[in-house]
Amino acid sequence: MTKKGGKGTKKREGSKKWMRYDLEGKIKRKNKFCPKCGPGVFMAHHADRDSCGKCNYTEFRKHRK
Ligand SMILES: [Zn+2]
């Protein structure tokens, strides 16, 4: 086992920045506001639907064709 410092560090910083951007964009897009509770209440994201934990409102997602 050998650890190489110099090369890995630069690459890590780069991918970290990318991840940050990606995560922020995904979270913003993924989390929908509940139409019943209003803005501020996020809905839980599921594979094919979003559901609100407050009022149990569930919105099914349409599959892309
Ligand atoms: Zn709700």
Looking at per-residue confidence, does 59 or 3 come out higher? Answer: 59
Provide mean pLDDT across the span 5-26.
Answer: 56
Rounding to the nearest 10 degrees, give the CA dihedral for residues 53, 56, 32, 17: 30
pLDDT tens digits for range 37-56: 998 888 988 888 989 999 99
The pTM assigned to this predicted structure is 0.47
Q: Please give the distance, rounded to the nearest whole angstrom, from the Cα atom of residue 2 to the centre of ligand 1.
A: 52
Tokens found for residue 50: 């979003």
Tokens found for residue 21: 């951007």
Domain residue ranges of the chain, discontinuous segments joined by + = 7-60
pLDDT at residue number 32:
83
Q: Note the Cα 4 to chain centre separation in Å.
A: 32
Q: Please give the distance, rounded to the nearest whole angstrom, from the Cα atom of residue 54 to the centre of ligand 1.
A: 5
pLDDT at residue number 2:
65
Share of the chain above pLDDT 90, in %: 20
pLDDT at residue number 55:
97
Q: Please give the distance, rounded to the nearest whole angstrom, from the Cα atom of residue 51 to the centre of ligand 1.
A: 8
Tokens 């994201």 map to which residue?
A: 45
Q: Please give the distance, rounded to the nearest whole angstrom, from the Cα atom of residue 24 to the centre of ligand 1.
A: 23
